[in-house]
Amino acid sequence: MPESQRLFFALSLPARLQRQLVSWRAQAFEEHTGRPVAGASLHMTLAFLADVSPEKQQALMTLAGRIRQPRFTLRLDDAGHWPRPGVVWLGTRQPPRGLIQLADLLRAQAARNGCHQSNAPFHPHITLYRQATRPVALPPPGFCWTTDVQEFTLFASEFSRGRTRYQALHSWPLV
Ligand code: 2AM
């Protein structure tokens, strides 16, 4: 019988931007800030679904395929540290309306299909470091990366041999 998978909807980043962020991160943050997330794994989660059965996955994919939302430009110009989960993140000072609408829609569809959604407000971010539990020196404001977002993706999170890997299962275009 096929098994449940740990799933989430997210924005992937172009490979070039992933590489740029990895090299910026190395000079913008101190060594030992935390465990850096691999460049190919950098992403912005829109809706976290947790463990999803194959039937529910199919239903959520059908709904995702009906979404007609506009493309938008994302400006990555903010950074922060959440000490409790040990996350250092890159985010945006002004989330574009298209980003919020897309995340709201995916989160609402997930909730209606029994995927518990946190009550905490959506804080769009790209996790740069994990296990960052000690105080972190953040880079001064002034940095800004931009990317044109043209699609969103369903990812599976797989844990094996001590590592988490994200596998892109399917992407849908924004219009
Ligand atoms: P994080 O980077 O802030 O930890 C895969 O684990 C993705 O889903 C990550 O982007 C992670 O966010 C997010 N995620 C994991 N657990 C979550 C939860 N309970 N609520 C919201 N997002 C979660």
pLDDT in tens, 83-129: 999 999 999 999 999 999 999 999 999 999 999 999 999 999 999 99
C-alpha span between 143 and 78 (Å, rounded)? 8
Report residues whose beta carbon is within 6 angstroms of any ligand 1 atom.
8, 45, 48, 87, 118, 127, 157
Per DSSP, what are the bridge partners of residue 86? none
Mean pLDDT of 163-168: 96
Residue whose CA lies nearest to ligand 1 atom number 20: 48
- Calculate how far, in angstroms, residue 47's C-alpha sits from the geometric centre of ligand 1: 8
Question: Which one of 41, 42, 48, 119 would you pick to mutate in the ligand 1 pocket, going by the greatest count of ligand atoms within 8 A of its CB?
Answer: 48
- Calculate how far, in angstroms, residue 48's C-alpha sits from the geometric centre of ligand 1: 6
Secondary structure tally for the chain: helices H, strands E? 3, 10
Least confident among 1-10, 39-48, 68-77 = 1-10
Catalytic residue positions, numbered? 43, 125
Confidence of residue 33 (pLDDT cuts 50, 70, 90): very high
Structure tokens at 154: 């369903």
C-alpha span between 83 and 65 (Å, rounded)? 36
> For residue 37, what is the DSSP state?
P
pLDDT of 132 over the 80 cut: yes
Structure tokens at 6: 């740990």
CATH architecture under which domain 5-173 falls: Alpha-Beta Complex (3.90)
Q: Which residue has the higher pLDDT, 71 or 2?
A: 71
Q: Given the CA of residue 155, which atom of ligand 1 is nearest to it? A: 5
Q: What is the pLDDT of residue 2?
A: 78
Identity of residue 45: T
Q: How many CA atoms lie within 13 A of 85 on its CB side?
A: 10
Please give the mean pLDDT across all residues of the chain: 97
The SS3 assignment for 39 reads: helix
Mean pLDDT of 133-162: 97
Confidence of residue 1 (pLDDT cuts 50, 70, 90): low
C-alpha span between 162 and 157 (Å, rounded)? 13
Structure tokens at 116: 């518990």
Residue whose CA lies nearest to ligand 1 atom number 12: 45
- Calculate how far, in angstroms, residue 51's C-alpha sits from the geometric centre of ligand 1: 12
